[in-house]
Structure 1
Amino acid sequence: MKFFLIGYMGSGKSTVGKLLSEELNYKFYDLDQEIEKEYDLTISEIFSRKGEVFFRKAERKMLDKLINLEEDAVVSLGGGTPCYGDNMELIKSSDTVRSIYLKLNIQTLLERLQREKTERPMISHLQTRELLEEFIRKHLFERGFYYNQSELILDCNGKDPSVIVHNLMENLR
């Protein structure tokens, strides 16, 4: 079995994913890190040197690889992964994958991303809190359709990662 964590950037997919993988004694994969290893470039470098189309093709290729793993795993997807092409359909159609949406409200995402803005190329250019909030609102509106197709939707607002993992363990039994 593989558990794919889905959600907006800053929703805790990597943090929760690592903790969940430890709890389950499963291997942990971060889709973006796997792409970076494959191409020996950061995601930012891939976007700037090769473009978004190249990145989305690489993302799809890596998604296929992770869906077809022969081992139990927890996988943290990129925030946009489920929203491109037929990626979400591919995830949903796999008998060995359960998709989990780590859902946060705009205010919580805004607080987290405001602190992490400089490390995130997609939002580092947004100069004001208002611009960042507008950016998040727009993306969540566009991506919600895909995120909400997840098999399990977990409200993570105001919850510590360890509590989220505990909640997930209860839901996965």
Structure 2
Amino acid sequence: MNIVLIGYMGSGKSLIGSALASILEFDYIDLDDYIENQEKKTISEIFDDKGEIYFRKQEHTYLKDVLQKNDTVISLGGGTPCFAGNMDLIIEAEKVKSIYLQTSLEELTHRLLSERSKRPLIAHLTNEDDLKDFIRKHLFERSFYYNQSDIKVQTDQKTVETIVTEIRSKLF
């Protein structure tokens, strides 16, 4: 079985994915890291050099690749489920469980406010209100895709260990 973690940036996909894989003794793949390794460029460089359309095509191809693996926890980029039929690919894949790490607007704003410089998508947002509006818009646009996940787990005010335990109880 593969486990695919879905959620907005800052929802904890990478942190929880790594911890979950360790506990389950699964492999762990962060799709963005996988793409960067395959392309030999950062996501930002791919966007700058070749554009979003190229990136989304490659992302779809690499998602198909990693879904073929076994006993793997896969963390997706926040936008991955929303493009190129990726959510359909996840839903239709055999032995794949998708988990939406659901995080409130307030919690995401709090988490991302101090991380803006490390996140190209939000680096240009100069104040908390602009960041909150940006996240709100994205959550609204992406909720259709995120909510198609097999399992939803609320992450607000929870430790990684608590979230991993909750995921395990819902999976097995």
TM-score normalised over the length of structure 2: 0.99
User: Could you list the per-position Cα deviations for residues 86-110 of structure 1 after superposition, in whole angstroms to 9, with x for gaps in the alignment?
Assistant: 1101100112210000000000000
Q: Is the 8 A contact 2:109 2:135 kept in 1?
A: yes
* Distance apart, 1:115 and its partner CA: 1.1
User: Aligned Cα RMSD in Å?
Assistant: 0.6
Deviations 1:101-153 (A, max 9, x none): 00000000000000111100000001111110000000000000000000001
In the TM superposition, residue 68 of structure 1 has moved relative to its aligned partner by 1.2
**Separation in 1 of the partners of 2:95 and 2:63?**
13
- Paired amino acid for 1:160: T
- Superposition deviation, residue 85 in structure 1: 2.1
**Runs of 4+ off more than 3 Å:** none
Cα distance in structure 2, aligned partners of 1:85 and 1:18: 26
Count of aligned pairs: 172
| Structure-1 separation of matches of 2:77 and 2:14 | 10
Render the CA deviation track for 1:25-50: whole Å, top value 9, x for unaligned: 00000000000000110001000111
Separation in structure 2 between the aligned mates of residue 144 and residue 31 of structure 1, nearest angstrom: 20
Which residue in 1 is equivalent to 2:3? 3
- Counting only pairs closer than 5 Å after superposition, residues 103-118 of structure 1 correspond to structure 2 as 103-118=102-117
The residue aligned with 1:119 is 118
Return the offset for 1:164. Answer: 0.2
Mapped partners of 2:94, 2:123: distance in 1: 38
Aligned residue number for residue 43 of structure 2: 43
Structure 1 residues not aligned, in runs of 5+: none
2:146 pairs with 1:147? yes
Matches within 5 A, 1:1-173: 1-69=1-69, 71-173=70-172
